[in-house]
Amino acid sequence: MEKRYFHIDFLKAIAITMVCSYHFQILHDQSNISLLNTAGYVRRFVFNTNVSCVSLFFMTSGAVLLNKPFDMAKHAKRLYRIIFQFIAWYLITTIFMILFGVVNITDYNITDFINHLFLSELPGIPYGHYWFIFTLIGIYLLLPFFYNSFADNGDKYKAIKILMLFLFICIFLSNEINTLIKVINVNVSTDNITKFIPFTNLNAIMIFFFILGGYIHKQYHKLKNIPIAYLVIVYLSGLLLLFIKFYIESSKIGSYDPIWSGYGSIGNLLMSASLFILVMRIDTFYEKISTSNSHSFIKLVFNVIQMVGMNTLAIFYIHEIIGTIVMPYVYSIAPYCGITINFAKAIIMVVLFSLIGEIIKKIPLLNKILT
């Protein structure tokens, strides 16, 4: 039986909480620096921690999939289940949006629904978050090639390192150079350098984090002993870099979202890598607590974290459906709240929706279709 690392579930729980914090946020507009006061700066600085949400997901996937024996039959089955599960949730999203009056069925014709069966989007229904699933499926299709190179300690492994260096230069480094260019106000851009990459920019970013997660986990016993102080300094440095990037970009172009636009930033790279390594240290503490006869409350917290971590895809699908239906009522009651309330909202969402995920698993037919 494969060993299950608690830190992987913990990181996935952190990531999905960040997603729920970022989506359906109940905060004042924080995308324009000119509209922020001192308290707004603080909210923006803290809220930027959510930038690691998606990169952590792909890093945990890489950590697991690139560091265990590859079985083509199991991989094909897993890929089929992810695609089938996505299509099921895609159609369920549409049905719920119609049933709860988010959209009106009379606004569409038969051609719209036929096209919808081929994954064409119906206007007014939230499908934007599904880019994550499309990217995940794309990486799964490439996994046999990545694994073949990753498992090799010779030239193939060197090729993976060259790919990582290439992606770093073309995406992360060029991204920061573009921001610096805005400071000196010169009409120059490095955007075209991404034409060398045989993927879309967003897919390339997540491929980078997928492989990075595999590499960090491969060095698990070495990296988890890095002093906590060093990792905290790296994390805060990344957070500061991201805020500076937001300040510069927003000052120049007005509205700027440092989370959606920050996935390919060096700030996010530093934050995601340091947080991943930092959380790896929790495995020793988890094993100690889980084998003791005391610490019942801590055990309960760990069990909840593990439940959330094991239901992240279910939470991902459910949160957008229920959030779209329920949050307009929340906005009418409390349109703007503080960062703490917004975080509490995210915690409630992930725990509640993970419980729904557990219920789905208990129903054989739904378990087969939706998980």
Distances in Å between the Cα of 204 and the Cα atoms of 24, 162, 200, 258, 270 are 27, 14, 6, 18, 17
pLDDT of residue 321: 92
CA 324 to chain centre: 19
In contact, 187 and 146? CB cutoff 8 Å: no
In contact, 78 and 139? CB cutoff 8 Å: no
- In sequence order, the 6+-apart residues with CB closer than 8 A to the CB of 337 are 26, 27, 345
What SS3 state is found at 294?
Answer: coil
The domains of the chain are located at 6-370
Cα distance between residue 205 and residue 134, in whole Å: 14
Cα distance between residue 35 and residue 29, in whole Å: 8
Q: How many CB atoms lie within 10 A of CB 128?
A: 10
pLDDT of residue 174: 87
Answering whether pTM is above 0.85, one says: yes
Cα distance between residue 140 and residue 25, in whole Å: 31
Q: In this model, does residue 77 exceed pLDDT 60?
A: yes
Amino acid at 118: F
Ranges 58-62, 177-181, 214-218, 304-308: which has the least confidence: 177-181
pLDDT of residue 311: 95
- In sequence order, the 6+-apart residues with CB closer than 8 A to the CB of 72 are 144
What is the per-residue pLDDT across 240-265, written as a single tens digit (0 to 9) for each?
Answer: 999 999 888 888 877 788 898 899 99
Average pLDDT, the chain: 86
